[in-house]
Amino acid sequence: MSIELPPRDGDGYLLSMDDWTPEIGRAMAEVDGIELTDDKWDQILKAREYYDDQAVVPPIRKFSKYLGRDQKEMFAMWKTGPMKPITKYGGLPKPTGCV
């Protein structure tokens, strides 16, 4: 079964945050060839929680502290700056200061 993805920008972020559902998030990762483990999915949901509370995407330093996780471990898990895929598949805005 394949889900039709809502419109995304050139970096693969949803054009409208309102289009996000867990199914859409997982389908986006699948299309991008990213395997979302339970651990990664948990981080995505925690980022959405943080965003709901703070109305801002946290920098990785703040987010790893929020999760009680080691930043280096998160970088190793995601094989990239963790906030990019976390926010992308979580249907959140692009993190600022992310390259």
Active-site residue list: 98
Q: Is 59 within 8 Å of 79 (Cβ atoms)? A: no
Question: Tokens 């801002």 correspond to what residue?
Answer: 56
DSSP string, 27-42: HHHHHTT----HHHHH
Sign of the Cα torsion 52, 53, 57, 61 reads negative
Q: How many whole angstroms separate alpha carbon 14 and alpha carbon 57?
A: 15
